[in-house]
Amino acid sequence: MDDELDAMRPASARVYGWALGGKDNYQVDRDFALRTAPAFPEAIDITRQNRLFLYRAVRYLVGAGIRQFIDMGCGLPTDDNVHQVAKRFAPDVRVVYVDIDPVVLAHARALLAGDGSTVVITADFRDPEGVLAHPEMEKMIDFEEPLAVLYLSVGHHLVDADDPRRVLRTVLDRAADGSRLAFSQIVCSDADRGADLDARMSAAGIPWRNRTRGEIDELLKGLEPVEPGLVNVVDWRPDPDQPPLAPVPEELAPFVGASRLGRDFCEYGGVLRRPVRRGRGR
């Protein structure tokens, strides 16, 4: 029954995964992407730009000494998942992958390092207390050591009623000094297009809240963005030599390059530190 339901409604994980060249998707996901792309042709580029940002953000975090990651809304496994990127630079990392979509768990083999250093849990990141209380979390994460919590290309799935500020801060507030938050979400500064996107996503059953850059700056106020701050993710420590993604599927190829036409629609984000608590060093 769940499989039948899955095949009838587009899912964020599968639509996004398709744009990255993934194979784990249904006709309903591909139809939704093809229906949406003419109005939002930049979406294909920005999906891929976000995934390239994930690589650079994780590499930066490992370089900053982070060895434990909580990847909220990790999506379907693809080529360079968080633990694979991180282990390239430090073999001793531990990763907890979290996604609400059980299909992610079903395809999780690629997310497991096979040495007990990665785990995948099905949970709702809008309930961060519940995620933190998951038994696997206690086994994998040492809250006395710095960690990184990743909310990459998921901010738009947090609507105002979810209290996104609370959601985004809960893990970080529990974490040791030196911990970081990596964040990105789709932004659209054109109010009409933003409202159109909200309506299309909501009609498809995907919770969605377009935001402007200013709204995200406000949401993350109180945290300290590392250089270059909160930006269009293409401008976050760009690296032309980073490993490329899998090719875009043929049906989406006509939309590739559309993000060059304008920058009012993009993935906006960065990496932020929680200010050090008074009297606690690090």
Ligand X SMILES: C[S@@+](CC[C@H](N)C(=O)[O-])C[C@H]1O[C@@H](n2cnc3c(N)ncnc32)[C@H](O)[C@@H]1O
Note whether 153 binds ligand X by CB under 6 A.
yes
How far lies 70's CA from each of 42, 49, 114, 221, in Å?
A: 28, 21, 18, 21
Exposure string for 242-275, b = 16+ CB within 10 A, e = fewer: eeebeebbeebeebeebbeeeeebbbbbbbbbbe
Tell me which residue of 255, 205, 202, 197 sits closest to 37, measured CA to CA: 255
Main-chain dihedrals φ then ψ at residue 56, nearest 5 degrees: -70, -35
Q: How far is the CB of 149 from ligand X (least distance, A)?
A: 12
Q: Site for ligand X (CB under 6 A): which residue of 152, 187, 197, 233?
A: 152
Q: Site for ligand X (CB under 6 A): which residue of 10, 22, 41, 75?
A: 75
Binding segment (CB under 6 A) for ligand X, from list 24-32, 68-76, 108-116, 270-278: 68-76
Q: Site for ligand X (CB under 6 A): which residue of 10, 22, 41, 73?
A: 73
Binding segment (CB under 6 A) for ligand X, from list 9-17, 58-66, 136-144, 209-217: 9-17
Note whether 126 binds ligand X by CB under 6 A.
yes
Note whether 79 binds ligand X by CB under 6 A.
no
Q: How far is the CB of 111 from ligand X (least distance, A)?
A: 11
Note whether 183 binds ligand X by CB under 6 A.
no
How many whole angstroms separate alpha carbon 38 and alpha carbon 27?
18
Tell me which residue of 38, 37, 24, 30 sits closest to 10, measured CA to CA: 30
Binding site for ligand X (CB under 6 A): 12-13, 16, 50-51, 54, 73-75, 98-101, 104, 124-126, 152-154, 157
